[in-house]
Structure 1
Amino acid sequence: MIWTSEDVARDQVRRQAAGLTVRQVSTAVDTAVARERETREELRYPTAAIGQFAPDPEELADRWAALLTEWRRVAAHLAASGAGAYDAELDETGCAWAREREERRATALRDHAAGMERRREERDEVCAEVWGRGGRAAGPCGGGAGRADPGRGSGAARRAGERR
């Protein structure tokens, strides 16, 4: 998994805390304390069967623990800075984590694109070997006679991939 519970919590709290006052952040800390306690108790004393689509209780408990930690960090940042409201751009720690997260995301996207290109090249090589060097238009790998390149997908599928 590319994102840990801490990564998700940092990103979520950074977005949710934008513009919140010290009092509102304090309320968010209190809410996170209660939810973290509830999810930990649920792990110790399960009360209901977990449904097929219910979140994993351990993952949920970890997520709330991470959210609590991050809300507390934001509250401490506000107290230390003396600011009346949270401004993500003035939070050096939050900004550093956001940059790191974006760098990991960009690296993952580059690695994925490189892997897809390698697979496309490998497929083209196999098609050339199987169907001859004139290959692409000659057989099922080439998309001859008006067929789309099967490795590229439909225009709608490409556009859906671009939106992700």
Structure 2
Amino acid sequence: MWCADDVARDVVRRRGAGLSAAEVLGKVAEAAVRERETAGGLTGWARQSSSELSYEDPQHLAEVWKARHAEWRRVRDWIAAAGTAAYDPEQDSVGSAWARERVERRAAALTGHAAWMAQRRGAKDELRAEVWLDASTGRRLRAVAEGAGLAAEQVLAQLAQHVVLGPDGTLSVPPFTPVNS
């Protein structure tokens, strides 16, 4: 749901709160080292030495550290421009805007997922089937469907709706005309 930039912005925002300018400079330097290490192929060491980042994909790990380095530099520059002694995420308008966007995207994704799950729950009685017909039956079905202005699947669905189960377990379909609705 979140890209490397989103993760970096969130982590820096949380971990940077209250850090002094000197502490942020230390974070910039650390992120620069991690970025070089992961970009340079030393991902095994970076994976072992970074407990909060245990990615199996070295490329993704390199992207995350590159994004963190950029975000720590942005925070460093914000502190310098704001003239404050420490980083206050609530005063950082750019960081706050990005945080709101992440919350909104997450809420939209969760809403979409909830709707999908509700649809799945509602569809539990529906049936999706794949039917293999011999050539002559398939040709007859396509001819009937074409005559009714329907797809073959629509004719089969209407056929199934008209099936009658007899007392002896036999199935029959009374005569009906497929309807294009």
- Other-structure match for 2:81: 80
> Distance between the aligned counterparts of 2:13 and 2:32, measured in 1?
18
Runs of 4+ in 1 over 3 A off after TM superposition: none
Describe the shift of the 1:71–1:47 C-alpha distance in structure 2 as closer, same or farther (beyond 3 A): closer
- Other-structure match for 2:20: 21
Q: Cα offset for 1:47?
A: 7.9
Contact 2:28 2:72 in 1 (8 A): yes
- Other-structure match for 1:35: 34
> Distance between the aligned counterparts of 1:54 and 1:123, measured in 2?
36
- Other-structure match for 2:117: 116
- Other-structure match for 2:90: 89
Contact 2:4 2:63 in 1 (8 A): yes
> Distance between the aligned counterparts of 1:111 and 1:47, measured in 2?
37
Structure 1: state its 5+ residue gaps.
127-164
Partner-residue secondary structure (3-state), 1:95: helix
> Distance between the aligned counterparts of 1:27 and 1:20, measured in 2?
10
Q: Cα offset for 1:56?
A: 1.1
Q: Cα offset for 1:114?
A: 0.3
Q: Cα offset for 1:54?
A: 5.8
Give the AA of the match of 1:6.
D
Q: Over the residues paired in the alignment, what is the CA RMSD in angstroms?
A: 2.1
Give the AA of the match of 2:66.
A
- Other-structure match for 1:98: 99
Q: Hey, which of these two has a bigger chunk of helix by percent?
A: 1
Give the AA of the match of 2:56.
P
Contact 2:32 2:69 in 1 (8 A): yes
> Distance between the aligned counterparts of 1:24 and 1:120, measured in 2?
51
TM-score by length of 1: 0.68
> Distance between the aligned counterparts of 1:77 and 1:125, measured in 2?
56
Structure 2: state its 5+ residue gaps.
48-53, 128-181
Give the AA of the match of 1:62.
E
Partner-residue secondary structure (3-state), 1:89: coil
Partner-residue secondary structure (3-state), 2:56: coil
Give aligned-pair identity as a percent: 51
Q: Cα offset for 1:125?
A: 5.0
TM-score by length of 2: 0.62
Worse overlay, 58-67 or 115-124: 115-124
Describe the shift of the 1:4–1:85 C-alpha distance in structure 2 as closer, same or farther (beyond 3 A): same
- Other-structure match for 1:9: 8
Q: Cα offset for 1:124?
A: 4.0
Q: Cα offset for 1:55?
A: 2.1
